[in-house]
Structure 1
Amino acid sequence: MSETLPAPSVLPPAPGAEDYLALDFVNSVLTLPGGQVIDALRTPEATKQWLTERDLAPADTEVQETCTVRLRSLREHLRALFAALVAGLPASPAALSAANDAMTRVPTAARLHWNEHGPYRAVPCPTDEILDHALATLAANAADLLTGPDAERLTACGSTPCSRYLLRHGRRHWCSTRCGDRARAVRAYARRTRPASG
């Protein structure tokens, strides 16, 4: 049985996460050896921290459990889309629908407002709309990645049981040095224990 742990602040981002917020988002859950799961969205407070650190919500936002559940649901749908692209398979209709619904739930243009200084434009963000804007931003960023020039570089970490995605650079197929070291150790052990042919 897996145990969900708090997300460590020292976990390095996977290659490409600095360019694509959606990649950072799908990697906000991580499977470790021994069945341990690290989830940055495990609680409303952790979700609030994740959102505010990425400028997806103001620091005074109140995050409810339902918000956390909606974010985790979108994350799983985006992970399914990433997995389909990496495996060269058709996308799940439910995952496509979830991404499209998130992108179309909010207005695409900032509204016109007027105050004592004159007109200005701003996206409405009362507390009940903050999550919709975050979901739309994440889904649109995932769509940009999946349809853009970096899509061919998207891959799953090649170190079992890691569950993160990354943008491949050269031959590197690992999301971190830790995963690369683990994969190399597994290969070295397999070579040492392979029966001699003769």
Structure 2
Amino acid sequence: MLAAPLPPAPGADSYVALDFANSVIALPGGQYVDLLGSPASVNAWLSAHTLAPEDADVQELCATQLRALREHIRSLFAARATDVPALPAAVDAVNSALTLVPTTALLRWDDKTGPYRQAPCPTNEILDHALATLAANAADLLTAPEADLLTTCTATPCNRYLLRHGRTHWCSTRCGNRARAARSYARRTSPSAQ
């Protein structure tokens, strides 16, 4: 398990989709931590990112849908970061999530007071709202000028995405230290160093 939570990757302060994509973390030794691994953890993550109230009571079916969207977004980020074509299924999944929630207040009619506008997203549509918001944020990132900065952390085995800044290609100090230690070890143990 993770000793301490990793800080958000560079760029996550502007794009919640980066935090979403990075909610599954590869650790040394082939282990993974999934911050969306259970309905309770999904509820906590959504609440922490103001995408659902604390008492949303997310069920496993909803958690599964969220994890599926995460994998599609990770696929799109990988395609963008490595400059390869995106999987059509991933594009379709994001577009499908984008259409789950109307983007404007709906027209309602009360027999006593008449017409009024009401923002969509009643409590029973919390997941659709979260999916649409995350998909829209991922689409914003993929089409923004910053998309050219999207990359993967270069520290093995990390699988997190970040927006590159300067020469840094790590998602956190922890990964940077691990990468530097691995390079130092490789230099000390290489045949040419002896």
The answer to whether TM tops 0.5 is yes
Q: Distance in 1 between matches of 2:165 and 2:155?
A: 16
Is it true that 1:156 corresponds to 2:127 in the alignment? no
Q: Given the superposition, is the C-alpha separation of residues 66 and 178 from structure 1 closer, same or farther in structure 2, using an over 3 Å criterion?
A: same
* Percent identity for Structure 1 against Structure 2: 60
Contact 1:111-1:124 within 8 A present in 2 as well: no
Amino acid at match of 2:118: R
Contact 2:105-2:117 within 8 A present in 1 as well: no
In structure 1, list runs of 5 or more residues that go unmatched. none
Of 58-67 and 25-34, the range deviating more from structure 2 = 58-67
TM-score by length of 1: 0.90
In structure 2, list runs of 5 or more residues that go unmatched. none
The structural deviation recorded for 1:60 is 2.1
Instruction: Output aligned runs, 1:34-45, within 5 Å.
Output: 34-45=29-40
Q: 1:75 aligns with which of 67, 70, 82?
A: 70
Amino acid at match of 1:71: L
Is it true that 1:170 corresponds to 2:166 in the alignment? yes
Partner deviation per Cα, 1:101-129 (whole Å, 9 max, x = no partner):
0001221212245788x9553223232x1
The structural deviation recorded for 1:193 is 1.5
Alignment: residue pair count: 191
Q: Distance in 2 between matches of 1:119 and 1:107?
A: 16
Instruction: Output aligned runs, 1:1-198, within 5 Å.
Output: 5=1, 10-112=5-107, 119=116, 121-127=118-124, 129-196=125-192
Contact 1:44-1:63 within 8 A present in 2 as well: yes
Amino acid at match of 1:125: P
Q: Distance in 1 between matches of 2:9 and 2:146?
A: 14
TM-score by length of 2: 0.91
Runs ≥4 residues deviating over 6 A: none
Contact 1:25-1:75 within 8 A present in 2 as well: yes
The structural deviation recorded for 1:143 is 0.4
CA RMSD of aligned residues (A): 2.0
